[in-house]
Amino acid sequence: MTMAHLRARAEAAVASVVAVRPHEMRPLMSSAATFFFILSAYFVVLPLRDEGAISLGLDTLPGLFAGSLVLTVFAAPVASLAFSLPSIPKPRVRITFPFLSWMLKNSVEHGNKMGVFRFFGISLLVFFVLWFASTPGQSQPIALLIFFMFCLIAKSSEDDSNDPAGWRKHSWFYIVVRISLFLWVALLNLIAISSTWARVIDVMDSESGSRLFGFIGAGATLGQLFGSLFAASMAWLGPFLLLFSSLLMELAALSSKGICIDTNHDLTELSGTGVDQVQNTEADDEMSSLVTSPTSSFQSRKSKPQFFIMFEGFWLILHSSYLIYIALFLWLSAVVSSVFYFQKVTIIATTISSPTARRRTFALINSFIAVFILAGQLTLTGHILTVAGVTVAISASPFVAATIWLPLLYGRLGLLWLSLKQLERYQ
């Protein structure tokens, strides 16, 4: 069976579940594959990151979260500036950044996205070396050079102490590597996903996005499920998970090459969508009444220096109450998610002593979350949005969070009651 035949069968299978036009097939498949590999890479390394944070002590988690917040606040506008600029000329890259000239090879023609993914993939390889070098008793060169013996090395690569007593018992090198990985993975998640969505939005219009974004989101969910299951089954590999995550980032870079506009499709197919374009224009006019911009994108880029482009998003939000409410909703959602994350890490750290078991538990929890998300996308989400609408669905989020809080509160009260009973018995 030839590759062309396999590709034709895959395209037929995709066309049976989503309304896709022939010229949209390549960007659709490439977008879904890119998100699949990005989320897989992220959730493969996520349990290792959380385990490294636990080894520093639970009291360090608020500081790590604050550091992630500060890093993303500064990184988000800088990334927006980088992605909004035109492709970097190759001679300038070679002269200014010799290393980046190799890393960005073949990425200039694809919106600099391949270079972003490859940069993060290489950084994960660097963290693999640093992790081994900072772990007591695991800095032997053989552990870094001979990959085919990774099974034997990984089984002996656990930390000497399984008790998350705090960072004071570790060397400064150990602490710096764990903190850096925690912050770097958060940055990877932000830039890789946001840059890919920015590229997808540039390629697809609002009409095609309404048809195809669900399939692309399903690819991301499948990536979360695959990465979590892989991390759960291979938790004993320890830092070698960084190697697999780096490989997945390279696959994401290769997949992103297909996220482009197909200029070779028939003009008759475009003329057939004239009615849809009129409807989309009316919808865009209605949305523009909610999201107002003081200047058009073209005018703003002409009237402002390129450095100030990174702050254009802030100005758009400040001049629109609609966007302010969306930002406030996302901020409150992040606060609630952070509280749940602290509860999860605290429970796992206090009940499980083995680093491998903790990594496996983190990965299994992420797997269950991915299963529930995928089931909801396939069954409930579409019906809820169709029947109740977006406003009702978003407004129901606090009630869902409160429902989840009840078992946690009941468990906490149960533990307190048992502790009081133990004190009464000793008295």
Structural domain contains residue 51: yes
Q: Is residue 356 part of a domain?
A: yes
The DSSP secondary-structure symbol of 159 reads: -
Confidence check: pLDDT of 363 > 70: yes
Sign of CA dihedral 254, 7, 223, 229: negative
Q: DSSP letter for 388, please.
A: T
- The tokens for 33 are 């594959």
Span 38-44, mean pLDDT?
Answer: 94
Instruction: Report the pLDDT value the prediction gives residue 240, as an integer from 0 to 100.
Output: 92
**pLDDT score of 15 more than 70:** yes
**Over residues 258-273, mean pLDDT:** 57
Asked if residue 256 is part of any domain, the answer here is yes
- Note whether residue 423 is domain-resident: no
Q: What is the secondary structure of 253-303 as a DSSP string?
A: HHHGGG-S--TTS-HHHHHTTHHHHHHHHHHHHHHHHHS--SS-HHHHHHH
pLDDT in the model for residue 93? 39
Mean pLDDT of 68-89: 67
Whether residue 253 is contained in a domain is answered as yes
Q: Is the pLDDT of residue 37 over 90?
A: yes
In order of 72, 74, 195, 353, the CA distances from 77 in angstroms are 9, 6, 12, 40
Inter-CA distances, 306 with 96, 178, 311, 342, Å: 19, 35, 10, 40
**Tally of structural domains, the chain:** 1
Residue at 68 is within a domain: yes
pLDDT at 418 over 60: no
The pLDDT assigned to 180 comes to 92
Question: Can you read off the two tokens belonging to residue 228?
Answer: 């979590």
Q: Classify residue 304 by its DSSP letter.
A: S
- Tell me the average pLDDT across 181-209: 83
- pLDDT higher than 70, residue 314: yes
Least confident residue range of 176-180, 212-216, 261-265: 261-265
pLDDT of res. 198: 78
Q: Judge whether 76 lies within some domain.
A: yes
Q: Over the range 108-132, which residues count as b (16 or more CB within 10 Å of their CB) and which as e? A: bebbbbbbbbbbbbebbeebbebbb
Nearest to residue 222, comparing CAs of 371, 413, 79, 327?
Answer: 371
What is the mean predicted confidence (pLDDT) over 214-225? Answer: 87
Is residue 299, in this structure, part of any structural domain at all? no
Domain residues for the domain of 29 are 18-260+305-395
Q: How confident is the model at residue 426 (pLDDT cuts 50, 70, 90)?
A: low
